[in-house]
Amino acid sequence: MQYRTFGRLAWKPSALGFGAMRLPTIDNDPARIDEPEAARMVRYAIDHGVNYVDTAYPYHRETSEVFLGRALQDGYRERIKLATKMPCWLIKEPGDFDRYLNEQLERLQTEMVDFYLLHGLNAERWPAMRDLDVLRWAEGAIADGRIGHLGFSFHDDYKAFQEIVDAADLWTFCQIQYNYMDVDYQAGRKGLEYAAHKGLAVIAMEPIRGGRLSDQIPPAVQKLWDSMPVARTPADIALQWVWNHAEISLLLSGMSTMEHVVQNIESAERSGPGTLTEEELELIAQVREAYKALSPIPCTDCKYCLPCPNGVNIPRVFEIYNELMMYGNDQRAQMVYNTFLDAEERADNCIECGECLEQCPQQIEIPDWLAKIHELLCQEEQPSGA
């Protein structure tokens, strides 16, 4: 296993961290973890050098922490740094901070969490946490030994990311989505470099975009992979691209099978900053452009079309559709559209008023696309008794 640096800390993290969000399940029920197999995977990873294990309050419908509490018995807890996340969206008053942390410690069967993250911070969630004085609370939790170090995971744009990084000297680390398709998405490369410059350790999540960069490879992309000077799997290429950045402290992989664990550990053993050649990096850049060419809607997320007078989140609707065209997987696109978009933000709220057409610099026929996307992705609720 290769080990890297972790911001200002002397501790060395394994290049690969074990993310306990996509564990094997029984009957595809996310709440029913296949505990014998999942425990075998976690312990195999630790036995082969992985020293960072990450979970969160809601993972596997609130069963991931409980599972890890059992899986890390027999001395495995002492061999790793354990990370979990505060469910910020559930915090309504200052007393909730202690209530949820203490519940998590009980679930994990541990007296302290080495790395504790404020989960999913963005431009709306961070001010709410700040105004409840979360930083002062965290200082107390560090002082009394329940938390080792404080950080945050992030889903928003660079401006919000910079604001959060600059808001406190208490941050030790942050966690961002980062892969070869997302160099300009959310915090992106700019955020990676900014956080590292400020002395924060940076953890990369979604290095394979939830498997989308290794499954259902389009022919145009596969042709480029076949031209690689050294044969690699798409998953290995995606991981190596992240590890190639010296600013990355470790990457998290949510592994669902023992095969994933074995392959990712083998990849990690070959990893290191600057290990990819210029020829390989150029091919990966070509793959990025090949994926983008599969996006039929030329939306640049400039947001000039917002606010829509009827509440439609036009750029997000287009992003979901373009990702479907790039990576396939109708079921995932429908799930994201129907679950993670509020009903008020979906495309069927468009009344074709035309205001967005006047603002769009790409001259996209927005109402036509919205109607098409909603017809494709909407999952109408079945009437009772159906």
Q: Which residues pair with 252 in a beta bridge?
A: 17
From the list 53, 49, 59, the residue with the least C-alpha distance to 72 is 53
- 3-state secondary structure at position 357: helix
SS3 content of the chain, % helix, strand, coil (to 5): 45, 15, 40
Confidence at residue 352, expressed as pLDDT on a 0 to 100 scale? 92
H or E element that contains 59: helix 59-62
d(CA 166, CA 35): 40
Within the chain, which residues score under 50 in pLDDT? Answer: 381-386
State pLDDT tens for residues 240-282: 999 999 999 999 998 999 999 999 999 999 999 999 999 999 9
Query: Judging by DSSP bridges, how do beta strands 52-54 and 81-86 pair with one another?
Result: parallel
Q: Which residues pair with 254 in a beta bridge?
A: 19
Q: Which residues pair with 176 in a beta bridge?
A: 204
Supply the pTM of this predicted model: 0.86
Confidence at residue 380, expressed as pLDDT on a 0 to 100 scale? 62
Q: Phi-psi category of 206—alpha, beta or left, where left has phi over 0 and alpha has psi -120 to 50?
A: left
| Residue entry with tokens 């470099």 | 193
d(CA 363, CA 97): 47
- Tokens representing 318? 């287009």
Q: Please, what is the Cα angle at 46 between 42 and 47, to 5 degrees?
A: 115
b/e code 290-321 from CB counts within 10 Å (16+ = b): bbeebbebebeeeeebeebeeebbbbbbbbbb
Residue 200 · residue 166 · CB < 8 Å: no
For domain 16-277, give the fold. TIM Barrel (3.20.20)
Cis previous bond, 307, omega within 30: yes
The residue type at 293: A
Question: What DSSP letter does each residue of 75-122 carry, written as one string?
Answer: TTGGGSEEEEEE-GGG--STHHHHHHHHHHHHHHT-S-EEEEEEEEE-
**Phi, psi (deg, nearest 5) at residue 130:** -60, -45
H or E element that contains 293: helix 278-293
Question: What DSSP letter does each residue of 185-238 carry, written as one string?
Answer: STTHHHHHHHHHHTT-EEEEE-TTTTTTTTSS--HHHHHHHHT-SS---HHHHH
Rg (CA), the chain: 21
From the list 26, 45, 28, 46, the residue with the least C-alpha distance to 36 is 26
State pLDDT tens for residues 164-185: 999 999 999 999 999 999 998 8
d(CA 179, CA 181): 5
| Residue entry with tokens 């287009």 | 318
- Tokens representing 355? 């205001």
From the list 16, 13, 22, the residue with the least C-alpha distance to 254 is 22
Work out the mean pLDDT of the chain and round it to a whole number.
93
Confidence at residue 385, expressed as pLDDT on a 0 to 100 scale? 38
Q: Where are the domains of the chain?
A: 16-277, 295-386
